[in-house]
Structure 1
Amino acid sequence: MPNFKVKKIKKLILPFRKDEVELEWMAENDNVILIYTKVNEESFFLQVKKEKDSFIIKGDKHTKPSKIAYLQKSLQVFRDYFCHNEDIISEAFAFKHNALIEKTSLIAYDFDQLLAQIKGKIYIEIGFGSGRHLLYQAKNNPDVLVIGIEIYNPAITQVAKLAKKQNINNILLIQSDARLLLSVLKPNSVEKIFLHFPVPWDKKPHRRVIARNFCEECARVLGKNGRFELRTDSCEYFDFTLKQFLCFNSPKFTLKKNENLEISSKYEDRWKKQNKDIFDLWVWNLDNVCDGLNLDDFDFSDITFNANDLILLEKNFKNLTLKGDDYFLHFENLYQVKEGLIFKIAFGAFNKPEHCYIGVSKNIEFLFKKPFKIKENLKAIEKLKKVLKFHFDVIVFS
């Protein structure tokens, strides 16, 4: 993460604007100052962390912008206008002035943008890496939108460049956890889901993408005619995945070993050179499991606060975690702003948590984007509303 360290900073007088960077307002507690920053209509927090004899300035990891250049430019502006050169201790960022380029339509920078672009047939590839298989599917299925999910941003940028070079336009890439994406897609909206050579995590199976709830989400978005395809060099992962899908009522399978495909990933090339076996598992005809939960929008309209309420919230704040059967709510930090408070919380499902900043003044609002409308998030936010209504009173924890 780009950052720099400085002995001291000048007095922060906000709002401040220089070129594309706007430093609008700040929130703080005893250890950290958060600076609400905008670059080219994207908003995020710069974080000024106080240490004994210095400050570390970096981006907040849970609100980071889509392009690292936006963060680098913001750090440069903060350094140049709120620090003295002689006070700089160290730097770990380098901004290039040609880096603030236009966004490409091949990359979705949030789920709202992705969902707005979904039309017609959909394939999904989870963890596309170098993009060989994803680009092959897109090139050979021009009437299909191939959505690629990857957690590593450099891979997304590189594959987008390759697609543009090859004039492939029917792909959409997003940096996310695949489990979150599946949870917000409509039922029966996907034709194929590819998971090729995932990290097997043989010694830590709880970290695998494959799990019972993941399989249920696959069933929901695929429908009976949709197909899940696993390709792996791990026999243990193959067996594990097969057992998860055998929990459905009448699944159908195709099992293959050492099948040669027209396209091969760099990992597959490596495994073949080592004479390792390659396993394929295709799954379809999955019955959809639905609990009928109504996923309404998050709504705080029934809660209002006055000055005394804010005083009580600040006084009673606790760093604590509340747990339900299938969700949790963790209060991480509290920050003061000019006319209210900001809570940083983690919440949702245990295996796919979200992190958000909540602004509390007269009303409550999400500062950046709303959480995904999945049942675990809704339950956690309902608990949040109760905690805030009762000002962290102990009766809400029973």
Structure 2
Amino acid sequence: MPHFKTKTFIQPTFPLQDSCSGDSFIFVDRYYSSLYPKLSIILTKYQSTNQKQTQEFLIEVKEKENQTLIKCNKESKIAPIEIPKNALRILSKNQQVISHNLNPQNITSDLKLPFIQTINNFIDFDSFLKTNNLQNKQIWLEIGFGSGRNLLYNAQHNKDILHIGVEIHTPSLEQVARQIGLLNLNNIYILSYDARIFLELLPSNNINRILVHFPIPWDKSPHRRIFSNTFLKEANRVLKQNGTLELRTDSEEYFLYAKSIANKEEWLIHESCNKDSNIISKYEARWKKMQKNIYDLILTAKINSDFKNSQYDFSFKDINFISDTLNSHGFKRCKIIKDGYFVSIEDLFISKFNDKILKVSFGDFNYPENRYIIIDNEIRYLKSQPLPTNINQKCHNILCDLLFKER
């Protein structure tokens, strides 16, 4: 994570407006933790030269005995990583820096931005396609693209198809973004996110092909596998009729598991072993050299699915009805556990003007959301609203019950 260390952090006067390498920032204010005296966060706003929308993120300040660590906040970070790096470069001015990892990369933020998407770009998927003139395109989705060899190959050799890549490992995302820029590809979008949630957000009957190549087998922790009954249900829903879900793996146990949970009423099932591939990753080449078998499972959706039509409301009540417990003296942690999901209020940060930022986490136990709620002249989630899922709606309703007193 981008950071620098200094003996003592010399705080600038807020709000501070400055720019670095073409990126413009406003450092709004510093907020202090109610639970940890040596922890604070700086609310930061960013606007690029080629995007109208302002993005918000947080910078953490952690004081220690002999030094202070200033770093990008993990939960609120924005992509590409050069953006928070530039913000930290500004804050490192006039500081006695001990160490840092803020050296610039060989590619600018503006070059990477067109290819890297955020999950919010896909919440209204139809509008996303329309805005980018992609309504009539076939769509291939690759989950866990890693080094991007297969994703880039498909994009290069199928330029009339829209390619979307989802990868939870951010360094891989940055690496592939550079390759997209160097290859001058304009038919590919990538994002870093959990593919299980990503599928839940997509509308029905939109995807032609889903590729999952060499996922982590998790043989000792099968509950962590991407393939599950829920995953197959969502994949079947988002695929068009005769669309395919394709698994390629070196793990026979994973292959047999995936095949066993595929519902024959929903899928046509085709399997093969050691089938030739147009592109071979370095890991596949290594496994073939070891004479390991490579298994392919292709599931074809039999029918079109019913359309998903859900309405969600993540708005907050009037600021005047915020609970009196949200102050530094009366603040206490709170955790509520329900069947399959939870809500946790973890910390309260307060500025010198008594504006507040609340740290919360909630959602499914397997992939929770870590969020911040800004409370100043209005109440809003930092960066964006929670993802529109049934569990997140339940969690938001619980948060409202906790944060607001009755009228």
Counterpart residue number, 2:5 = 5
Contact 1:305 1:363 in 2 (8 A): no
Counterpart residue number, 2:343 = 329
Matched, 1:348 2:355: no
Displacement of 1:230 in angstroms is: 0.2
Counterpart residue number, 1:319 = 333
Q: Give the match's secondary structure for 1:333.
A: strand
Distance 1:235 1:3, change over 3 A: same
One-letter code aligned to 2:8:
K
Matched, 1:80 2:84: no
CA RMSD of aligned residues (A): 2.6
Q: Give the match's secondary structure for 2:8.
A: coil
Counterpart residue number, 1:38 = 45
Matched, 1:91 2:99: yes
- CA-to-aligned-CA distance 1:98-150 (integer Å, 9 cap, x gap): 75441446523312335454333211001112222212322333322010111
Displacement of 1:303 in angstroms is: 4.0
Q: Give the match's secondary structure for 2:92.
A: helix
Identity %: 32
1:357 to 348, 372, 377: 372
Contact 1:232 1:278 in 2 (8 A): yes
Counterpart residue number, 1:396 = none
Matched residues, number: 382
2:77 to 58, 64, 77: 64
Paired with 1:363 and 1:164, the residues of 2 have a C-alpha distance of 39
- CA-to-aligned-CA distance 1:359-386 (integer Å, 9 cap, x gap): 2346421121112111111111111111
Displacement of 1:62 in angstroms is: 0.9
Q: Give the match's secondary structure for 2:176.
A: helix
Paired with 1:197 and 1:292, the residues of 2 have a C-alpha distance of 30
Counterpart residue number, 1:110 = 118
1:255 to 264, 271, 276: 271
Equivalent runs, 1:1-398 vs 2, <5 Å = 1-19=1-19, 20-29=24-33, 30-39=37-46, 40=48, 41-81=54-94, 83=95, 85=96, 88=97, 90-96=98-104, 100-104=108-112, 106-114=114-122, 115=125, 116-118=127-129, 119=134, 120-246=137-263, 249-285=265-301, 294-300=310-316, 302-305=317-320, 309-314=322-327, 316-337=330-351, 338-361=353-376, 363-390=378-405
Contact 1:327 1:379 in 2 (8 A): no
- CA-to-aligned-CA distance 1:17-65 (integer Å, 9 cap, x gap): 2323431212111232111123434431111012234321111001112
One-letter code aligned to 1:140:
H
Contact 1:138 1:146 in 2 (8 A): yes
Paired with 2:214 and 2:114, the residues of 1 have a C-alpha distance of 24
Displacement of 1:157 in angstroms is: 3.3
Q: Give the match's secondary structure for 1:282.
A: strand
Paired with 2:199 and 2:284, the residues of 1 have a C-alpha distance of 26
Paired with 1:140 and 1:299, the residues of 2 have a C-alpha distance of 44
Paired with 1:230 and 1:11, the residues of 2 have a C-alpha distance of 52
Q: Give the match's secondary structure for 1:372.
A: coil
- CA-to-aligned-CA distance 1:224-278 (integer Å, 9 cap, x gap): 42210000000111112122223x6442200111111222222211110110001
Q: RCO (CA 8 Å, sep 6+): is it higher in 1 or 2? A: 2
Stretches of structure 2 lacking an aligned partner (at least 5 in a row): 49-53
Contact 1:21 1:77 in 2 (8 A): no
Paired with 2:382 and 2:291, the residues of 1 have a C-alpha distance of 52
Paired with 1:122 and 1:243, the residues of 2 have a C-alpha distance of 27
Contact 2:80 2:113 in 1 (8 A): no
Contact 2:323 2:403 in 1 (8 A): no
Displacement of 1:286 in angstroms is: 5.9
- CA-to-aligned-CA distance 1:176-223 (integer Å, 9 cap, x gap): 111122121111111111000011111222222122222221122114
- CA-to-aligned-CA distance 1:63-93 (integer Å, 9 cap, x gap): 1121222222222222224x3x2xx4x3131
One-letter code aligned to 2:44:
T
One-letter code aligned to 1:15:
P
Distance 1:175 1:386, change over 3 A: same
Paired with 2:149 and 2:336, the residues of 1 have a C-alpha distance of 43
Displacement of 1:284 in angstroms is: 2.2
Paired with 2:93 and 2:162, the residues of 1 have a C-alpha distance of 44
Q: Give the match's secondary structure for 1:305.
A: helix
Q: Give the match's secondary structure for 1:368.
A: coil
One-letter code aligned to 2:269:
F
